[in-house]
Structure 1
Amino acid sequence: MIITDTHTHLYSDAFDEDRHDMIQRAMAQNVTRFFIPAIDSGYTDAMLQLESDFPEHVFLMMGLHPTSVKTNYKEELKHVEAMLAKRHFYAVGEIGIDLYWDTSTLEIQKDAFKQQINLAKHYGLPIVIHCREAFDEIFDVLEEVKDDKLFGIFHCFTGTLEQAHQAISYNMKLGIGGVATFKNGKIDQFLNNIDLKHIVLETDSPYLAPKPFRGKRNESAYITKVLEKLSEIYTVSEEKIAEITTQNSKEIFGI
């Protein structure tokens, strides 16, 4: 069984004390494919080091996270452009709109989002979307830019069934993680109405640890708890969930 974690911040400071051990723990649980989202230029060197340490297992994205869209965002976007021109990445992400932390940057967040979608289309890459309290704003942008070159993953999907179908209509897979195991997560109540062909697994570690680890540091090995929950929701084996979601990740990332 091969399990794919489509979204994990393995370079996070939270793993500085045991990063390699943590990755080995995940591999011992058959989690052998790790897709790494970017945040901003300050993390690029750490991401490249991680890839160097685990070249067969770690796959990098490049992008500017919406919470890092500040007054210097145009300089940050130049870094994204330069890196994409320099070498191969597997996605442009994570990108999008976050109105939880700061609503005053909405317009420049939208601008950065659109520019990075255009970069993804130019390089034939998927996008990985971060959305927090911004479904309407995200969908407005996707409606504006939709075409046959637009595809990717709606990371950490926490919306309604209607929003799930809308995200899928833009050629997005739904990234499902620890929230599916939460008592008040709500998505577990309708996920079985979404075909598994639209689902990929993720942890977003070190954030959003699933039950029974909720509130603690998340790590990629805990994706097995998400797998267990989806097996329960869809009433199919964990092996089948792992097989389908890993195949879905291959369709998105091309590896």
Structure 2
Amino acid sequence: MITDTHTHLYSEQFDEDRKEMINRAKEAGVSRFFIPAIDSSYTDRMLDLEKNFPEDIFLMMGLHPTSVNENYLEELALVKEWLDKRNFYAIGEIGIDLYWDKTFLQQQQDAFRTQIKWAKEKKLPIVIHCREAFDEIFEILEEEKGNELFGIFHCFSGTLEQAKKAISYNMKLGIGGVVTFKNGKIDTFLNQIDSKHIVLETDAPYLAPTPYRGKRNESSYITNVVDKLVDIYGKSFQEISEITTQNSKEVFGV
């Protein structure tokens, strides 16, 4: 059993072959798909995905940092409304992204803090999006740290020191296609991180692993990530699959 802890299966990029793409993933051994939210414009697509694949799909709810703008309070209100209405498996993806635009940094910080507090209240994990914002993310995690704060540092691409710091806040490291990139760097130190701290992800349709880099990613390609981790940890394909799925169960409780 392989678990893809982060895949945008509702993306428009899968509209032509979604069922076939999911079946390819299942044939490759992927049996659990955790689906991060972006903003309210994708909620209906997420719910339709769950309706069509009820045995395989596990939804999150949250406001993505790149969707934080002038109306972020309205978007947060919708997130809270959904969290109070039904069960989700995590609050995510949430965090701070300073790669494209720093205009709404303060609003991103506020949205991140707010959603962390909701996660604590509901005893849910958080799934963190961090792009060029490690210092800003860690500042807030330091404020909020405690046993009730836990989750996944999605698409981890930092240094060994940053990896250890993330783990210190009860975060697993989400490992995906980046670990297969020649310039990804995390493959140079990941063997110094105990495998109990990592989970698998694709972030499909983004960040396809080698040899598909630059093309549309899909959940079946997670096997290329496992292959790379086999080399890094010196464990078998089955061991990596079992360890990372068990780690995901510790986070999501399912």
**Under a length normalisation based on structure 1, what TM-score does the superposition of the two structures give?**
0.99
1:245 alignment counterpart: 244
How far off is 1:147 after superposition?
1.2
How far off is 1:174 after superposition?
0.1
1:58 alignment counterpart: 57
Report whether the alignment pairs 1:131 with 2:142.
no
Identity across matched positions, percent: 72
Return the alpha-carbon distance in structure 2 between the equivalents of residues 109 and 74 of structure 1: 11
SS of structure 1 residue aligned to 2:199: strand
2:38 alignment counterpart: 39
Return the alpha-carbon distance in structure 1 between the equivalents of residues 116 and 39 of structure 2: 16
1:216 alignment counterpart: 215
How many residue pairs match? The answer is 254
Q: Deviations over 1:24-62 (max 9, x none)?
A: 000000101000000000100100110111111100000
Q: How does 1:6-155 map to 2 (within 5 A)?
A: 6-155=5-154
SS of structure 2 residue aligned to 1:144: helix
Paired letter, 1:111: D
Return the alpha-carbon distance in structure 1 between the equivalents of residues 209 and 197 of structure 2: 21
2:192 alignment counterpart: 193
Return the alpha-carbon distance in structure 1 between the equivalents of residues 148 and 36 of structure 2: 20
Q: How does 1:150-229 map to 2 (within 5 A)?
A: 150-229=149-228
Return the alpha-carbon distance in structure 1 between the equivalents of residues 92 and 142 of structure 2: 19
Return the alpha-carbon distance in structure 2 between the equivalents of residues 249 and 131 of structure 1: 19
Paired letter, 1:12: S
How far off is 1:104 after superposition?
1.2
Return the alpha-carbon distance in structure 2 between the equivalents of residues 251 and 57 of structure 1: 18
Return the alpha-carbon distance in structure 2 between the equivalents of residues 118 and 150 of structure 1: 9
The root-mean-square deviation of aligned C-alpha atoms, in Å, is 0.4
SS of structure 2 residue aligned to 1:183: coil
How far off is 1:148 after superposition?
1.1
2:231 alignment counterpart: 232
Runs of 4+ in 1 over 4 A off after TM superposition: none
Return the alpha-carbon distance in structure 2 between the equivalents of residues 95 and 219 of structure 1: 22
Q: Deviations over 1:194-213 (max 9, x none)?
A: 00000000000000000000
Query: Where does the alignment leave 5 or more consecutive residues of structure 1 unmatched?
Result: none
Paired letter, 1:200: V
Q: Deviations over 1:203-248 (max 9, x none)?
A: 0000000000000000000000000000010000010000000000
Q: Deviations over 1:141-182 (max 9, x none)?
A: 100111110000000000000000000000000000000000
Return the alpha-carbon distance in structure 2 between the equivalents of residues 177 and 168 of structure 1: 17
Paired letter, 1:214: R
Paired letter, 1:207: Y
Return the alpha-carbon distance in structure 2 between the equivalents of residues 148 and 236 of structure 1: 30
